[in-house]
Each structure stands twice: as structure tokens, then as C-alpha cells.
Structure 1
Amino acid sequence: MIVTQIARIIANFILFLNLTGDEALAPDMAVQMMEDLANDLQALDKGFLRELVDAFPVIAPEYSGEAQQLVFNISRGFHLEEALASDDPVKLAELEARREAED
């Protein structure tokens, strides 16, 4: 499935930004790229975004250690479930309450 391939591309990019040391990648640049990526992901068509959100946990086992956990948590870290629920105030409130309880 193409969504799985795209999920891997996104995951690899996020891992690069997260796991590359400050000596090789300017931290400000990494933060800016993550913010830009978050905006781009949240702006995706909701049907495709749903498939993408579902793909990250599927591909996470392909990675190991810290990378696996980062990939598994992409949707949470980028607030993608909230983006999917943006037009459903009840679902959005549930997600926000769950996030607060977990933090």
C-alpha cells in the first residue's frame, strides 16, 4: 500500500530530525522542519490522514529501540488524531481529556 510507503518516508525523516546530533544538524532548523511537517500532515485530506495515522503503529516494529517508540508515537506527537477530530467537538474533547490524563 502506498500509505505504508509514505509512512516510512515520514518516519525516516522524523527519526533523522530527532536522532541526529546537534553537531550535524542545527537544532533550530530541526525544530522548524518538525513544525512545518506538523502543519503539512495536519492539512492532509482526512481520509488519507486516517490511513497514515493507522500505518505508523504497523510500521513501528520495523524499527528498534528509541526509533521504534518514536515511530509508534508520531500520531500523538504531531496531534494527528486531534486534526482528524477537528470538526467533531465531542471527539476532540475526549482526545484532549485523554491526553491530559496521560501526561
Structure 2
Amino acid sequence: MITNFVMFLEGADEEILDPDAAVEMLETLGYDLDQLDRAFLRELIDAFAVVALEHDEETAKSVRSIPSGFYLEELLAEDDPVAMAKLDAIRAAAD
């Protein structure tokens, strides 16, 4: 459901959806994700990789990027300096 919602908002033509409204909805979704129980959030992050398998390669790449786009791993690591350092190293290596 989240994947479909994000993909629609990111891909909607301006004639279908006002870009400002799309950004506002993505920000609202980001806030809602931030409010989730951390254990559930971990499961949700992991689920995006599984959901990505249901899509073609281009869409799958976008689906797998949803957690990083909303900084969900950072939410989980915010109170753990070791986890945050590992996440920073992974992100630096990817760049």
C-alpha cells in the first residue's frame, strides 16, 4: 500500500495531481512513518525488499529506495551511535 501510494505521488503527471499537493502528501506520509513503533518500522523497512521482487527492475529499484528516501534507517539508529556510524559508512560507500 505504501509502495503504491509513493509511486503514484512521485509519478503523477501535473495534469493529474498538483505537484505541491504530492509533496505535501509525501511529507505527511513521512511524518506518519516517523510515528510508527520502532519494531514495526524495522519490519516495514525489510518488507520493501520483498515487495520490490513483484516489480520490474526499474520500479523495484525505486521501491527499494523508499526507506532511504524517508530516512527510515536513521529513525531506527537515532539513539544508537554505533548503528548511525555503520549507516553513515554504508551511505558513504554507496556514493
Q: Kindly provide the amino acid, as one letter, of the partner of residue 88 in structure 2.
A: E
Whether 1:28 and 2:10 are equivalent positions in the alignment is no
Q: TM-score, normalised by structure 2?
A: 0.89
**What is the aligned partner in structure 1 of residue 9 from structure 2?**
17
Task: Give the Cα–Cα distance (whole angstroms) in 1 for the partners of residues 9 and 87 of structure 2.
Answer: 26
Q: In the TM superposition, what whole-angstrom CA distance separates every residue of 1:33-81 from its partner, at most 9, and x where no partner exists?
A: 1111111112210000000001000010112243221111111111111
Q: For the aligned residues, what is the CA RMSD?
A: 1.4
**What is the aligned partner in structure 2 of residue 53 from structure 1?**
45
Whether 1:76 and 2:65 are equivalent positions in the alignment is no
Q: Kindly provide the amino acid, as one letter, of the partner of residue 35 in structure 1.
A: E
Q: How many residues align?
A: 95
Structure 2: segments with no counterpart, 5+ residues: none
Task: Give the Cα–Cα distance (whole angstroms) in 1 for the partners of residues 41 and 67 of structure 2.
Answer: 10
Q: Kindly provide the amino acid, as one letter, of the partner of residue 38 in structure 1.
A: G
**Higher RCO (CA < 8 A, seq sep 6+):** 1
Q: Identity across aligned pairs (percent)?
A: 52
